[in-house]
Chains A and B, each alone.
Chain A
């Protein structure tokens, strides 16, 4: 156990021998995926526990009124920031608020319905399901991104096995343990962001060691899929914006 913790610490500290040792394990992928799942489960545990406690309590009228008032106050503040609104816009906003109110009432009504299992147990299952699904979702996102990185790494001359690559890149989840602090107001999301950036550094190192590439090529392989997606999104957004402007000018 202590050997595993030492390896994890050395990997988080970007020490090359720890990566090489991990890469050369015959069960690198098995171990990497399990570490990834455990890290994301720990990182999501606090948020899930808070969510469970909140969900067990039935929505009472006081909470509902407070939430609605807060939402309305935010909407009014947003409206004040908007320059001179025409009557049509004001009517739209009023309708939006009315519909929000109805939607909120529907949500509260469904939330208060009985289930065959006692409310605490049923909400416990929902929270457990959400907690596991969140970790599995992050694992899915890692896998979906990893195959593109692997493709670019191979095209850039990488020569490591798929299982070793996946096993090593899964270790990017270690610094993401800091995500456990994300529910803490103000500082929490910032700490989680630091964990994410640190995770990117671990990911690049993992690509470098698993595919035996230099740092520049590893960085390029790790970032190219994200850059390509970003460029595609920008092109689509730009085309959509042009279409909206063209439609508005015709109207």
Chain B
């Protein structure tokens, strides 16, 4: 039992930027394995919390199909609907988009079944984000004169997932958590400072640069995806609206 509660103690101290928590992880005999274990325990716990929260939210909300059926007759009473009725092709296109939007809403709405996926996806997401960020942070920290090893960097940056503890509050439905990114950045700053012994300016740079690289990559990916989707939609609707 202590093996399960110990990671939460470490994460709780790391959440409030207690230097000792990061130092303990740095000085562990195998920080990488310890960090991985912390993230798996945290991810599974958050997955379980997510199931309860999503189920309660689902039970406290009307069904998506009921909402759709309540909105449509009211839209059909609006003046622009009469204009659209005169053009069957335009109406068919409208319904295609309307149904598409509701399909997306249905797929993304919280439900007990879809929340089960969180048991796998939450730990997996935490681990992938940690490995990518930790590797980049290690590279930048070393470039900036850091002295820590990759093993130590990964161990300490695993504790930067501590702000995810706040997500435990989502056991209650409709709770939204803000600024996790900012808090995570502060935890990463503390982790890199403790592991690499850098000045505060260099620690800030080492903590920020991986995020900058990832944001630039995400923007590039977004541009490519939107170009592909744009051309796909253009092909789809080219024959629909004359």
Can you name 13 extra interface pairs (CB under 8 A) apart from A106-B70, A128-B174?
Answer: A29-B17, A95-B79, A105-B74, A110-B67, A115-B62, A116-B58, A116-B59, A123-B60, A125-B60, A132-B169, A132-B175, A139-B178, A162-B17
Q: In whole angstroms, how far apart are the Cα atoms of A113 and B64 in the complex?
A: 11
- Restricting to B160-177, which residues have a CB under 8 Å from any CB of A? 166, 169, 172-177
User: Residue A235 at the B interface, CB < 8 A?
Assistant: no
CB A113 to nearest CB in B, in angstroms, measures 4
For this complex, 10 residue pairs linking A to B, each with C-beta atoms less than 8 Å apart, are A95-B79, A105-B77, A109-B71, A109-B74, A113-B63, A116-B58, A125-B56, A126-B60, A132-B169, A163-B16
Q: Which residues of B contact A (CB under 8 A)?
A: 16-18, 56-63, 66-67, 70-71, 74-75, 77-79, 166, 169, 172-179, 182-183, 185-186, 189-190, 200, 204
Docked-complex contact B61 and A110, CB < 8 angstroms: no
Question: Which residues of B lie under 8 Å from residue A29 when comparing CB positions?
Answer: 16-17
Question: Which residues of A lie under 8 Å from residue B77 when comparing CB positions?
Answer: 102, 105
Docked-complex contact A141 and B178, CB < 8 angstroms: yes
CB A116 to nearest CB in B, in angstroms, measures 4
Chain A at the B interface: SS class: helix
Docked-complex contact B176 and A137, CB < 8 angstroms: yes
Docked-complex contact A106 and B61, CB < 8 angstroms: no
CB nearest neighbor in B for A27? B16
CB A151 to nearest CB in B, in angstroms, measures 8
Q: In whole angstroms, how far apart are the Cα atoms of A166 and B163 in the complex?
A: 15
Question: Which residues of A lie under 8 Å from residue B66 when comparing CB positions?
Answer: 113-114
Question: Which residues of A lie under 8 Å from residue B70 when comparing CB positions?
Answer: 106, 109-110, 113
Q: In whole angstroms, how far apart are the Cα atoms of A98 and B77 in the complex?
A: 10
Question: Which residues of B lie under 8 Å from residue A30 when comparing CB positions?
Answer: 16
Q: Which residues of A contact B (CB under 8 A)?
A: 26-27, 29-30, 33, 95, 98-99, 102, 105-106, 109-110, 113-117, 121-123, 125-126, 128-130, 132-133, 136-137, 139-141, 143-144, 147, 151, 154, 162-163, 166
Docked-complex contact A102 and B78, CB < 8 angstroms: yes
Docked-complex contact B179 and A140, CB < 8 angstroms: yes
CB nearest neighbor in A for B58? A116
CB A54 to nearest CB in B, in angstroms, measures 16
Question: Which residues of B lie under 8 Å from residue A151 when comparing CB positions?
Answer: 204
Docked-complex contact B172 and A129, CB < 8 angstroms: yes
CB B65 to nearest CB in A, in angstroms, measures 10
* Contact A110/B190 with A122-B59, A136-B177, A144-B179 known, Cβ cut-off 8 Å: no
Docked-complex contact A102 and B178, CB < 8 angstroms: no
CB A93 to nearest CB in B, in angstroms, measures 14
